[in-house]
A and B are shown apart, each in its own frame.
Chain A
């Protein structure tokens, strides 16, 4: 069965700290896609990144970086020098090969305090 686990329910940091959000997934598919979404208090899910199972290169976008490790089935997300605007719930998701459904993790609520 396909599953996404975000073990950290809530994380609280002080502004300018670095923070890593963990995502571990389970799938028997050899081809799959992983996603991260941000959900600020306003409610909209904002797409952050998509990564396919054949591309294990780490990705950096400004203060955001992603570490994909197939060997440990993990796709972790790091925010460098966090800011108050980063406060949100972050969801990791796996795209299921059969049926096309997005399998979401339970989300990690990040609180960045000034």
Chain B
């Protein structure tokens, strides 16, 4: 089973709202990732968690706040977003992070629209 689930599938929010995206995997993976993908572009890495600790923050604005409550769950808290933050947000997981051969498995994504 290589399933990564994400909720919600779609989200519309105003610039003053606070919302959260959720990601879950039950494959025993210890690395989890958030990516942002704009239309017609490849995914861009935002954050990496390894063993529930933040390993990589790709200079993401503080209005995006990741959280990894346990090894199966990954959240992305959103606050005071801008319209340009509208995108597809993808979660991924892999068994380990630093292991070169590891494959990342992606969830279906959350399509976010900021008004």
Binding site for B on A (CB under 8 A): 31-33, 35, 37, 42-47, 50, 52, 91, 95, 97, 99-102, 104-107, 109
Known: A99-B56, A100-B98, A106-B41. 4 other contacts (CB 8 A): A43-B90, A44-B109, A102-B45, A107-B40
A-B pairs under 8 A by CB, number: 56
Residues of B within 8 A of A (CB): 2, 40-43, 45, 48, 56, 88, 90, 92, 97-109, 111
Q: How far does the Cβ of B80 sit from chain A's closest Cβ, in whole Å?
A: 25
Q: Are B42 and A106 in contact (CB under 8 A)?
A: yes
16 of the cross-chain contacts (CB-CB < 8 Å) are A31-B100, A35-B103, A43-B90, A43-B108, A44-B90, A47-B106, A52-B101, A95-B100, A95-B102, A101-B45, A101-B56, A102-B45, A104-B42, A106-B41, A107-B41, A109-B40
Tell me the minimal C-beta distance from B56 to chain A in angstroms.
8
Option from B2, B42, B90, B97 in Cβ contact (under 8 Å) with A100: B97
